[in-house]
Structure 1
Amino acid sequence: MNIENLSYAKRPPYRDASRIVIACEGALTEPNYFKHFEAASPRLTVTIAGKDTENPTLSAPKWVLARAEAHAEKVGLAEIDEVYLVMDVDHHEENEFRELYEICKEKNWRLVLSNPCFEVWPYMHFKESFPDTRLKPQRLKHILSTIIQGGYHPEKILPYTEKALKNAALLEKDAGYFFPAENTTKVYMLVNRLINLMGKSYFLKLIQSKKG
């Protein structure tokens, strides 16, 4: 994987609120989930650099990095800002992500992987373990549709976030290693970070609003 290490130089004036930039591999599932954090707290600004819906095939690691780079160049980043690349392992091998991880590390950005796919995260809002040792994405998505009445939607899982955080942490094999074990996800680390930045009280208001 040949990934160009682009750079940017814009720096906006000092501000108190942190900006979290999340570059997502998916065009809908991940952005629709993280957008609920966008205006949930005055302490935090979340911007989503999602996939171009007109070019849905551009989901390779290098394209996710390119979207993050382009967004960073457009808005400029301050020292307090953080950038996360949220991606699925899917059919890719660990070595295919190593170069991307090293580039992110140099930039002080974070790579957030789910193995095999993002749906591991919503699954953990309801279950503590998986029926198979190695689930394919389509199989996991089908299982998720049988667990959540009416199918997956962010509003349906947000009230169970604390349970998901606990389950994900328990299943974690190596929190310090960038590549997740099978049927695990690093998304819980990003969600923990968002909650810490926005403040627990604001997060509780967010999930209460989703309970209706």
Structure 2
Amino acid sequence: MGSKSLKRKVAIREPKRTILVFTEGTVTEPAYVKELKRLDHVRQSTSIRVEIAGAHTVPYPLVERALDHAADSEIDDIWCLFDVESPQPHPRLKEAAALAAKNDKVHLAISNPCFELWLLLHHQDVTRHLSTADACKLANSLDGLSDKQLKASEYVPLRDEAARRARLLAQQHRRAGRSFPDDNPTTDIHLFVEAVEAAARKSSP
């Protein structure tokens, strides 16, 4: 009886997906994204680069910067995280959204009035119109921190609950006929989080 050659089957892992993230915020948003990167399933399968645009960068040039990288074949997806702000919204918000829509690789995760709303939704329902100052004050009261610091490790485990609340807010605005940028309070950060986790699943063996 002839001997059979034994060949070990090797699991083939897809290359890591690369996501480039542009943030308007310089502290809070990068801290949250950094904590997402630490999740085992994300860390093993997804490369996330964060580009901090700076505190005085408004959405339209942020999207322009993102589009400058859209032709890079080593980048799979580009996300822009920015705020609407209230009571004085950023200029050219609709133009920024229209510009991003011209390229399938560029996606937006917009918070109205600001990213701190997303943080609040990890812990509680928020339905009333908020100014940026009010949202920041409420978010700081959750963990006793100021100066936009963030204990991201206490938030990321609750991201599914925050996403549930964010989807409910979006549904309420649709039923009321309110749309961007007049949909305060609302946030799309859950779409970014879900895209990161979907990329991680896609890259898993």
178 and 48 in structure 1: CA distance in 2 versus 1, 3 angstrom threshold: farther
Aligned to 2:190: 188
Deviations 1:126-184 (A, max 9, x none): 00224xx321111111112222355642111112111111111111134xx76571111
Matches within 5 A, 1:29-68: 29-38=28-37, 40-52=42-54, 56-57=55-56, 59-68=57-66
Count of residue pairs brought into register by the alignment: 176
Query: Normalization by structure 2: what TM-score?
Result: 0.74
Are 2:101 and 1:99 aligned?
A: no
User: Using CA pairs below 8 Å that are at least 6 residues apart, which structure has the higher relative contact order?
Assistant: 2
Whether 1:113 and 2:114 are equivalent positions in the alignment is no
Partner of 1:81: 76
**2:165 aligns to what?**
167
Q: Percent identity?
A: 21
Q: Which has the larger radius of gyration?
A: 2
Amino acid in the other structure paired with 2:195: R
Moved runs in structure 1, 4+ residues, more than 6 A? Answer: none
Alignment of 1:124 onto 2:121: yes
Tell me the TM-score normalized by structure 1: 0.72
Q: Name the CA distance, whole Å, in 2 between partners of 1:179 and 1:163.
A: 24
C-alpha spacing 1:41/1:129, structure 2 compared with 1 (3 Å): same
- Residues in 2 aligned to 1:162 and 1:23: alpha-carbon distance in whole angstroms: 23
- Change beyond 3 A, Cα 1:164–1:180: farther
CA distance in 2, matches of 1:106, 1:86: 17
Determine helix, strand or coil for the equivalent of 2:102. Answer: helix
Q: Is there any run of 5+ residues in structure 2 with no aligned partner, and where?
A: 1-13
2:138 alignment partner AA: I
C-alpha distance in 1 between matches for 2:164 and 2:190: 9
The corresponding residue for 1:142 is 137
Contact between 1:31 and 1:48, CA under 8 Å: does it hold in 2? yes
> Aligned equivalents of 1:189 and 1:116: distance in 2?
17
RMSD: 2.8
Structure 2 CA distance for aligned equivalents of residues 26 and 100 of structure 1: 17
Q: Provide closer, same or farther for how the CA distance between residues 164 and 30 of structure 1 changes in structure 2, counting only shifts above 3 A.
A: same
In 1: Cα distance, 2:109 partner to 2:182 partner: 9
Deviation at 1:102, TM superposition (A): 1.8
Structure 1 residue runs of 5 or longer lacking an equivalent are 1-14, 203-212
Counterparts of 1:163 and 1:112, CA distance in 2: 17
| Structure 1 partner of 2:17 | 18
CA shift, 1:41, in A, is: 2.7
Shift of 1:104: 1.0
SS at match of 1:38: helix
Q: Distance in 2 between matches of 1:97 and 1:77?
A: 28
Per the TM alignment, residue 98 of structure 1 is displaced from its structure 2 partner at its CA by 1.8
Q: Which residue identity is paired with 2:125? A: E
Q: How far off is 1:118 after superposition?
A: 0.5
